[in-house]
Structure 1
Amino acid sequence: MNKLWAAVILVLGFSSCSSKQDGLRTDFENPPEEFRPMPFWHINGYMTRAGIEKELGDAKSLSGFGGVTVLPVSPGTQWGTGKPCPGTEPAYLSDEYFERYADILDISGKQGTQVILYDDIDFPSGSAGGRLRKEYPQYVRKYLSKEEFRVKGNQPVSRQRKDTASVLAAVSALNEQTREVLDLGPYMSGNTLTWKAPAGEWRVMFFNCGVSMDSYHGNLVDYMQPEAVSRLLEMTYGEYDKRFNRYFGSVITKTFFDDVGFVHQENAWTPAITDIFKEKYGKNPALYYPALFYDIGPETGAARVAFFDIRSELMAEGYVKQVSEWSGKRHLSSMGHPPENYSPNSVVANGDILKYYRHVQIPLLDAIFFYGRGLNGFKQISSAADRGDKPVVGAELCGAFPADMDSLTLYRVALEAMVRGVSFVVPHGMWYTTDADKIRIPPLIAPENPLLRDALPNYSACVGRSCLILQGGRRVSDIALLWPITAIQA
């Protein structure tokens, strides 16, 4: 069925394009660079102009790639083995680093290939290489936590909250028998609650919104805080803008953000949620915060939907929107994805994936770890693109696949993505230093890999032809599926 569907799409797409584009046959025989794969080029070593010139030349002449997505990396350990691997030199965002980046752009422009601007070092996006936390610690990610204790009715309470460094979002009491909720905010003096409980058994809860200090996400920006995102963009995108604006729209054609979402910190929060809840719904948020953790009666589901809908709006209107607007103003197309973009539980992964992609010029999916993983969720991304009338869907493919991946898998992964709506491909990927023990995340998709070397020119041409036609295609039928986001939020 999938093969038949792909054939129908290809034929109709070809027919549509052929009526509009002169020279399509010539382009089909030799696809232009803009349709060919543009893999991640992980910079795991010391860049020189000579080294850059050789690798970019090989990427074009030996692999048939249309360009590269330059991805700076920190020193780390190899996936699966733990061996130490080098990082980017010269240091990310240093003057010397930008000198080498200028070489990348100069050489790419001369040989007619393109560059995708990856927006940070490593992944997820949003740390400015650790500088954000050092210089603006108030702007890193925040989370919602709960301190609670039980108290019996008619008992006096005097309790100080422990997490005094966090913003107090609400103080609430939940009657465990009746599910009644009380706002205890009026009984707070500083960080101390002084209250006498009415009859019944009560859970008393302090809801705190604190700055994240965990090792995994402690460096990342609060994606939902506009002023924090603006500051970060000055530190990253702004530095490229000052130096390389003349390349925008010609050599640099796209920007790329990676893993911007909630995974590994599903309790991500921001202080604005409390005020927005009150303003949007005209209700006291302290009476509903307990619903995020407990059953508060008939309003439990509605309260959760309200909170999580606000969070998904802030995610879509925060980092994702600002990056896309920055890119659009400079004649660039933003592309990127959240973590777990194929997960059926969008709420804990990215909020609401249909909202998440509404500002992105090229919605992008991520296929990682092994062939077949995530296939059932990829249509979420192309559905978001269709809903937003976006003509191109991208895919980051093959990250952390087995190092001995064969060329058939290279094709299978691309074709499985294409029949689910993908029309642009970023393989994962090339590495500056290609020694097997220096590649942090396999596989190596480059001429130095003997398993893939001979297949790469035809693979790139095949992908280029497919993307040429798929980007010119049109919908042939309407099939609607219910998106049960409110049920998931509840």
Structure 2
Amino acid sequence: MNNVNVQAEIAHKDLMQLKQQFENPDATYRPQPFWFLNHELTKPELESQIQSMYEAGVGGVVLHARHGMQTSYLSPAFMEALEFCTLECKKRNMVVWLYDEDNWPSGTLGGKLTRQHPEYRMRYLRVEEQRYMHDAQQQGLKLDFARYDHNELIAILAYRAAMQDGEWLLCDEPEDLTHVWGREWTPTTEDPYIVLACWSCEIAEGITFANGYYLDTLNPEAVQAFIRMSYDPFQSLQEHFGTTIQGVFTDEPGLMIHDGFFGVEAIRTAVHDVGATLPGMVFAWTEGMAERYQQENGYDLIPRLGALLYNMADGSRSTKQQYYDTITRWYVEGYHLAIRSWCERHGLLYIGHTLEEPVWGQARSQGNQTRVLQQFHYAGVDYLTPGIGTKENPHRIVSVKTAASVAQLNSKERVICESFGASGHGYSMRERRLDANFMAFLGVNLFIPHAFYYSFAGYRKTDFPPTEFKHAPHWPHYRAFADYLGRLSLLGASGKRTPEVLLLSPIHTVYENMFVSGQSNKHPASDALFSLLSDRMLRRSIDYDYVDESQLREASLMDGEGVRFYGDGNIYSVMIMPEIEVMSRDIAAQLVSYVKQGGTLIAVGAIPRHSECLHHDPELAKHMHALFGSTPQHNELRSIGKGYTLFYSLENLPLVDPIDSLCERVSGLLRKSPVLRWKLTEGQHEDLISLERVFGDRVYVWLMNWSENPVSMKLGAIEAKYRIEEWAWKAEKYAS
């Protein structure tokens, strides 16, 4: 038999196996929910519930200690229950995931760790401000910053300030006024001054459950204590590691916990006022940070803390960018890499999710989300509350696409999603299916429903419902939904996406613009455009991935084609920069090579001007001039070497939706044509979105109606040689 026939036979066998799996997906593709162990755990009830899940098509469970559990977390009785559940799942070929926390977020054992070890409590930097304007009315400034419990004064710094183009800029080398605290201070010059009081603060009690303090995830010693107390006890189950027990789930850790993700104020928990805050704005911090930072970066951070809130008059940008790079590195290596390494030593997978959307929130709580997700064996995401967003507010896409893009560019097999939680008791199966379709379309191929409640008694009903389990009216019909999720996951995990477009993450631009003139900006233009572009490209059925600068550094340029990230991975011929203002010098040089060797680079709304080091960096300007020339013209394709550049302005365009017009332009620059074309006979063009996946020599086209309107179409193949086959999701049928 010649090689061509051998390959054809292998492809045919693979297809037949896929069809068999499609009819009845394996457990690994089926939903594997959070199972809330939230009452007294008895073996008959545990066995009964596992059997019910098995009969309903559930493929596995995440054993999640939750509110209401009567057994102490990690006690002998609790570990006995985990082993019993594991053995019962093994009998049924179901998958088990361990969960590393008592409730959530991961890191404190329900507050036990940080009560026993107060030195491991999370800290944050709180910066409050006073201003001095030299005039007849203000002769001096009273430095009457109030003291609060568990707040340690780091320094009081007086910066000479200058107004330029409507923005306050700080001059370097502030005057240290710490010794003048509580007294009046009068400057020796007539300049305006901005005075910043910087405090190292312990996070408030009650920021986690059981009146706990959250963990200092920037402190590797604190994380090692968490591993010893939470992970090491799991070793009693070691005989099941790598077989029935697949791995460990970590849930919503952060370098700043939830208050830092949602806002900039320091939360002060108080019975009489649970929303009370302290003055000023907060940033990630850790015990001994100043000394550790200076040792690694070669300069004293304290006199430069003003650069986190203001831009500097001398144009320096290094402090702000280095601060975020440093805290990201400490957090990624200290928490995620440490736990991943423990899991790998014990033959387990490290999975979970963090806090994800928008990019502003990623920067606040994770530093750099891409670098965090790279540590997970399966990239993970959270999809709570119902709905898929809207054209005007496409808030759902960035979080899932970030995880899916890390999986694609870093060759990870699965994208997990904690799904359906916090959607309320009235959440319908129709809504679930729409949300599941959208998650799968964006790249999710392992659903972890939130949640299956062991008990629904009393206050447990309010624990971020709905229940997916036997307490729900839809439970008798759950098997059909579990089959449906299994098929979505199967094809998502088996097929390979082949997008041509990369969307460059604006994370460094967001770092730069999230605080200006001492005020927070929660909606930087680049962040908003990133989200809008993500939505509009979906509406144009243009598949894409996000890319971070750190990933580009590891990529290979393919002469005449584009860029590739691993081995036989996908090649990307088009890269889009959404209002990117800040770019590292080495990445700018790499993009010049990318274009000259055949790639197409599109700058939308702005061309990078600032480097990671310097405002209006001349070295960066040299690279941008090589790419876009001295006077870029809107929508003009510029030939450079084997590739092209294009600048797309967003100013003064006579268009209803300039982003949609941009996507039409991008579509015309793609090298591959869609395998299928169709003509709508009912509905609007953007109601229907499509995605191609490759399996062997076959192309699977996913079509999704994400509108509320009916859509009808007439399909046709580009070439007669293609045989069109329809696979129905809700039944084991095929149509040609």
TM-score of the two chains, using structure 2 as the length reference:
0.57
Letter in structure 1 aligned against 2:492? L
2:396 corresponds to which of 356, 362, 375: 375
Report the alpha carbon displacement of residue 271 of structure 1 after superposing the two structures with TM: 4.0
Seen in structure 2, the aligned counterparts of structure 1 residues 35 and 292 have a Cα distance that, compared at 3 Å, is: same
Check if 1:205 corresponds to 2:205.
Answer: no
Q: Which residue of 2 aligns with 1:293?
A: 309
Seen in structure 2, the aligned counterparts of structure 1 residues 245 and 129 have a Cα distance that, compared at 3 Å, is: same
2:466 corresponds to which of 412, 432, 443: 443
**Bigger mean CA deviation after superposition, 347-356 or 290-299:** 290-299
Report the alpha carbon displacement of residue 443 of structure 1 after superposing the two structures with TM: 1.0
Seen in structure 2, the aligned counterparts of structure 1 residues 340 and 354 have a Cα distance that, compared at 3 Å, is: closer
Q: Is the 8 A contact 1:38 1:65 kept in 2?
A: yes
Check if 1:141 corresponds to 2:162.
Answer: no
Report the alpha carbon displacement of residue 431 of structure 1 after superposing the two structures with TM: 0.4
Q: Which residue of 2 aligns with 1:8?
A: none
1:56 corresponds to which of 37, 50, 71: 50
Q: Which residue of 2 aligns with 1:113?
A: 94
Counterpart mapping for 1:10-409 below 5 A: 23-61=17-55, 63-74=56-67, 87-146=68-127, 148=129, 162=147, 169-177=154-162, 179-184=170-175, 197-200=187-190, 201-217=192-208, 219-241=213-235, 243-261=236-254, 262=256, 263-266=258-261, 267-271=283-287, 273-275=289-291, 277-299=293-315, 301-341=317-357, 343=359, 345-373=361-389, 374-377=395-398, 378-409=400-431
Letter in structure 1 aligned against 2:470? P
Seen in structure 2, the aligned counterparts of structure 1 residues 190 and 317 have a Cα distance that, compared at 3 Å, is: farther
Letter in structure 2 aligned against 1:172? L
Deviations 1:271-317 (A, max 9, x none): 45534543455443233201222343254654322212222222222
Task: Give the number of the structure whose alpha-carbon radius of gyration is greater.
Answer: 2
Report the alpha carbon displacement of residue 441 of structure 1 after superposing the two structures with TM: 2.2
Q: Is the 8 A contact 1:120 1:236 kept in 2?
A: yes
Report the alpha carbon displacement of residue 184 of structure 1 after superposing the two structures with TM: 5.0
Seen in structure 2, the aligned counterparts of structure 1 residues 202 and 92 have a Cα distance that, compared at 3 Å, is: same
Report the alpha carbon displacement of residue 421 of structure 1 after superposing the two structures with TM: 0.9
Deviations 1:240-282 (A, max 9, x none): 12x1111111111121111112331353322455345434554
Seen in structure 2, the aligned counterparts of structure 1 residues 249 and 365 have a Cα distance that, compared at 3 Å, is: same
Letter in structure 2 aligned against 1:317? E
Q: Which residue of 2 aligns with 1:427?
A: 449
Report the alpha carbon displacement of residue 69 of structure 1 after superposing the two structures with TM: 0.9
Report the alpha carbon displacement of residue 29 of structure 1 after superposing the two structures with TM: 2.2
CA distance in 1 between counterparts of 2:43 and 2:224 reads 33
Letter in structure 2 aligned against 1:303? T
Check if 1:466 corresponds to 2:488.
Answer: yes
Q: Which residue of 2 aligns with 1:477?
A: 499
Deviations 1:410-459 (A, max 9, x none): 22221111111111110111001135864222111123312x22431122
Deviations 1:113-162 (A, max 9, x none): 12111110212111112111211111111110125556799989999994
Report the alpha carbon displacement of residue 341 of structure 1 after superposing the two structures with TM: 3.9
Letter in structure 1 aligned against 2:111? G
Question: What is the SS of the residue equivalent to 2:437?
Answer: helix
CA distance in 1 between counterparts of 2:11 and 2:320 reads 46
Report the alpha carbon displacement of residue 464 of structure 1 after superposing the two structures with TM: 1.7
Question: What is the SS of the residue equivalent to 1:128?
Answer: coil
Seen in structure 2, the aligned counterparts of structure 1 residues 338 and 332 have a Cα distance that, compared at 3 Å, is: same
Report the alpha carbon displacement of residue 320 of structure 1 after superposing the two structures with TM: 1.9
Seen in structure 2, the aligned counterparts of structure 1 residues 271 and 434 have a Cα distance that, compared at 3 Å, is: closer
CA distance in 2 between counterparts of 1:193 and 1:471 reads 65
CA distance in 2 between counterparts of 1:189 and 1:278 reads 23
Q: Which residue of 2 aligns with 1:78?
A: none
Q: Is the 8 A contact 2:153 2:197 kept in 1?
A: yes
Percent of paired sites with the same residue: 22
Seen in structure 2, the aligned counterparts of structure 1 residues 44 and 340 have a Cα distance that, compared at 3 Å, is: same
Seen in structure 2, the aligned counterparts of structure 1 residues 54 and 149 have a Cα distance that, compared at 3 Å, is: same
Q: Is the 8 A contact 1:89 1:97 kept in 2?
A: no
Q: Is the 8 A contact 1:17 1:472 kept in 2?
A: no
Q: Is the 8 A contact 2:173 2:303 kept in 1?
A: yes
Report the alpha carbon displacement of residue 183 of structure 1 after superposing the two structures with TM: 4.8
Q: Is the 8 A contact 1:176 1:202 kept in 2?
A: yes
Seen in structure 2, the aligned counterparts of structure 1 residues 438 and 210 have a Cα distance that, compared at 3 Å, is: closer
Letter in structure 2 aligned against 1:327? C
1:412 corresponds to which of 434, 444, 453: 434
Structure with the larger helix share: 1
**Bigger mean CA deviation after superposition, 420-429 or 454-463:** 454-463
Equivalenced residues, count = 460
Deviations 1:16-61 (A, max 9, x none): 9866588444333221111110011112211100110010110101
CA distance in 1 between counterparts of 2:141 and 2:397 reads 54
Report the alpha carbon displacement of residue 221 of structure 1 after superposing the two structures with TM: 0.9
Report the alpha carbon displacement of residue 318 of structure 1 after superposing the two structures with TM: 2.5
Stretches of structure 1 lacking an aligned partner (at least 5 in a row): 1-14, 75-86
Question: What is the SS of the residue equivalent to 1:481?
Answer: strand
Question: What is the SS of the residue equivalent to 2:324?
Answer: helix
Question: What is the SS of the residue equivalent to 1:458?
Answer: helix
Q: Which structure ranks higher in relative contact order (CA pairs < 8 Å, sequence separation ≥ 6)?
A: 1
TM-score of the two chains, using structure 1 as the length reference:
0.84
Report the alpha carbon displacement of residue 471 of structure 1 after superposing the two structures with TM: 1.5
Letter in structure 2 aligned against 1:97? F
CA distance in 2 between counterparts of 1:189 and 1:171 reads 8
Q: Is the 8 A contact 1:367 1:395 kept in 2?
A: yes
Q: Which residue of 1 aligns with 2:572?
A: none
CA distance in 1 between counterparts of 2:308 and 2:335 reads 24
Letter in structure 1 aligned against 2:241? F
Q: Which residue of 2 aligns with 1:3?
A: none
Q: Which residue of 2 aligns with 1:4?
A: none
Seen in structure 2, the aligned counterparts of structure 1 residues 438 and 270 have a Cα distance that, compared at 3 Å, is: closer
Q: Which residue of 1 aligns with 2:699?
A: none
Seen in structure 2, the aligned counterparts of structure 1 residues 436 and 135 have a Cα distance that, compared at 3 Å, is: closer
Q: Is the 8 A contact 2:159 2:174 kept in 1?
A: no
CA distance in 1 between counterparts of 2:430 and 2:509 reads 40
CA distance in 1 between counterparts of 2:204 and 2:149 reads 15
